[in-house]
Amino acid sequence: MLKTGKLLRLRRLSPAGDDRYLLVPLDHSVSDGPIVPADKWDDLLRALVTGGADGIIVHKGRAGAFTPDILGSCALVVHLSASTARAGDVHAKVLVADVEEALRLGADAVSVHVNIGSDTEAQQLADLGAVARSCDAWGMPLIAMVYPRGPRIEDPRDPDLLAHLTNVAADLGADMVKTSVALPLDRMAEVVANSPIPVLAAGGPPDDSDLVEYATAVMATGCRGLAIGRRIFSSPSPGPLVSRLAGVVHGGDGTLGDMGMTADTAGTTSTTSPTSQTPNYSTIVAGVA
C-alpha cells in the first residue's frame, strides 16, 4: 500500500506521464524575503498552474495559506529545510518541518536541502537520512536539493563533484535530486549518466541570456527536468514563460512541438532550423533556482 502511495504521488509530479518534471521553487521568501506582494501570491500561483508547471515548492506555512483548489493538477512539494541570508553561516540548513506535517497539508512530495562542503554537512546528511526514513514509512517522494557549497568547495561546477553529489542523494534514499549544472554544460551528461535517480537542473543563467535556449541545452544533456524559481517569479509574464519551459521539458527533444519552434523570455516566438547550433554556455554559471 505504501509503495503504491509513493508511486501515485510520483505520477502526480509528472502529470504528462513522461517522467519529466518542471518544478517552480517558491521557498525564497524564507531565505531572501518576499518574492511578490502578499496580495499577488494567488495570482502568481494561478499563472504558474495555467502555464503548465508540474509542481511548486513552498514552505509549510505558505502551503496552508492559499486556497486548496488553486493548484488544480499542479503538484505540491513542501520544503522541509531552511536558512536565511542573514545567518552567521548561510550554508547551514536546518529542518523546520517534517513529513507528517507535509502529509496533513496534502503534499505530493517533500524536499530537503543539503550543502556538501559546508561546516554543517554532517548534520545536514543526518537530517536527509532521517527524512528519507519517514518518507519510506509514509510513501512520500523525496527530492534532495544537494549543492556543492562551503569553504571546502573549489569548483562548484566540477562534473565529478556533481556526480558524487547525485549519488549521495540516491544512497541516502532520495527519489530524485536537484543540483547545479556542470560546466562546460555538455559535461552535465556525465553527471546524469552516473546518477541512479532522475536529475533536475537547478536554476538558469544569471545573466540576460535566453532562459528557454539555456533550458533546451540543459535538457539535451539528459536531465529529467528543471527546477527554476527566481527567473520565473521575477519575470513580468511568469505564465507564458512557464508555458515555454514546459514545452522544452515535455517536448522530449528540447523543442516546442514538432516544428522547430523556440521562444525567448520576452514572449516572442521564432522558427529555427533543427540543425541550429546549441549556444556555447561554457562560460555561463547557472544560477540557483
Share of the chain above pLDDT 90, in %: 81
CA–CA separation, 257 vs 251, rounded Å? 6
The question of whether 178 is a catalytic residue gets the answer: yes
Convert the pLDDT of each residue in 66-121 to its tens digit: 887 899 989 999 999 999 999 999 999 999 999 999 999 999 999 999 999 999 99
| Closest to 109 measured CA to CA, from 139, 146, 66 | 139
* Interior angle at CA 212, CA 147 and CA 40, nearest 5: 80
**Sign for the pseudo-dihedral over CA of 70, 82, 101, 203:** positive
**Sign for the pseudo-dihedral over CA of 29, 35, 39, 42:** negative
The question of whether 3 is a catalytic residue gets the answer: no
Convert the pLDDT of each residue in 125-157 to its tens digit: 999 999 999 999 999 999 999 999 999 999 999
Q: What is the three-state SS of 162-204?
A: HHHHHHHHHHCCCCEEEECCCCCHHHHHHHHHCCCCCEEEECC
3-state class (DSSP) for residue 146: strand
Residues with Cβ < 8 Å from 11, sequence gap 6 or more? 17
- pLDDT of the residue at 67: 85
How far is C-alpha 257 from the geometric centre of its chain's CA atoms? 23
- pLDDT of the residue at 18: 97
The question of whether 27 is a catalytic residue gets the answer: yes
Place of cell 518541518: 97
CA–CA separation, 142 vs 134, rounded Å? 10
Note the pTM of the prediction, 2 decimals. Answer: 0.88
Catalytic residue among 21, 54, 108, 147: 147
| Closest to 170 measured CA to CA, from 189, 135, 196 | 196
Catalytic residue among 6, 21, 27, 214: 27
- pLDDT of the residue at 258: 32
Catalytic residue among 21, 175, 178, 214: 178
